[in-house]
C-alpha cells in the first residue's frame, strides 16, 4: 500500500526540525561571512604583497619560495577550518534526514498494519452481514 506524501510529512517531527533549522542557517551564514572576510583579506594581502614586490628590491628565489610556502600554509589552514564547519553542517542535516527516514519507516509500518486491520475488519463485517441475512430468512 502506497503512503501518501501528505501523511508522511504530517508524521515528521517538525518541532525538532524547526528547532534545528536556525542553528543550521546561522552556521551557514557564519561560514559565508567568514569566507567573504577571508576572500577580502586574501585580496588585500595579495594586493599588499604585489605592492611590496614592486617597491622592494629583488628577492632571492629562496625568499620568494618561503613567502609562497607561508601563503599556501595560511590558505590550507583556512580551507581546513572551512571544511570542518561544512562537516558540522552536513552532520546536522544528516541527523535531520535520519529523523525523517525513521518517521517515514514508522509511517509505512503503520500503514501496513492499518491495511491488515481494515482487511480483517472487512471480512468480519461481511461475515456478520451474511449471518444476519441468514437469520432473517
pLDDT tens-digit map of 38-77: 777 777 776 666 666 655 555 688 888 888 888 899 889 9
| DSSP characters over 45-89 | HHHHHHHHHHHSPPPPHHHHHHHHHHHHHHHHHHHHHHHHHHHHH
Q: Which three three-digit cell numbers place residue 2?
A: 502506497
**Overall domain count for the chain:** 1
Please tell me the predicted confidence (pLDDT) of residue 9: 65
Say if residues 107 and 11 touch (Cβ distance below 8 Å). yes
Question: What mean pLDDT comes out for the span 109-124?
Answer: 94
Q: Do the domain assignments include residue 1?
A: no
Position 114 pLDDT exceeds 90: yes
Position 21 pLDDT exceeds 50: yes
d(CA 105, CA 53): 63
Q: Which three three-digit cell numbers place residue 75?
A: 590558505
Q: Do the domain assignments include residue 5?
A: no
> How many DSSP H helices and E strands does the chain contain?
3, 0
Say if residues 82 and 35 touch (Cβ distance below 8 Å). yes
Please tell me the predicted confidence (pLDDT) of residue 50: 64
Q: Do the domain assignments include residue 2?
A: no
Q: Which residue has the higher pLDDT, 56 or 136?
A: 136
Domain of 78 in residue numbering reads as: 11-136
Position 98 pLDDT exceeds 60: yes
Q: What percent of the chain has pLDDT over 90?
A: 20
Position 118 pLDDT exceeds 80: yes
Say if residues 99 and 15 touch (Cβ distance below 8 Å). no
Work out the pLDDT band at 1, boundaries 50, 70, 90.
very low
d(CA 82, CA 9): 33
Please tell me the predicted confidence (pLDDT) of residue 124: 97
Q: Do the domain assignments include residue 6?
A: no
d(CA 99, CA 18): 13
Amino acid at each position: 500500500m502506497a503512503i501518501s506524501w501528505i501523511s508522511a510529512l504530517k508524521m515528521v517531527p517538525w518541532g525538532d526540525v524547526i528547532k534545528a533549522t536556525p542553528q543550521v542557517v546561522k552556521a551557514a551564514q557564519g561560514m559565508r561571512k567568514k569566507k567573504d572576510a577571508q576572500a577580502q583579506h586574501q585580496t588585500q594581502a595579495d594586493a599588499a604583497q604585489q605592492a611590496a614586490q614592486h617597491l622592494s628590491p629583488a628577492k632571492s628565489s629562496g625568499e620568494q619560495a618561503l613567502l609562497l610556502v607561508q601563503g599556501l600554509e595560511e590558505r590550507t589552514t583556512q580551507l581546513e577550518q572551512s571544511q570542518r564547519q561544512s562537516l558540522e553542517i552536513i552532520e546536522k542535516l544528516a541527523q535531520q534526514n535520519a529523523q525523517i527516514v525513521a518517521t517515514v519507516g514508522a509511517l509505512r509500518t503503520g500503514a501496513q498494519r492499518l491495511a491488515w486491520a481494515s482487511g480483517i475488519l472487512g471480512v468480519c463485517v461481511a461475515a456478520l452481514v451474511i449471518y444476519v441475512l441468514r437469520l432473517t430468512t
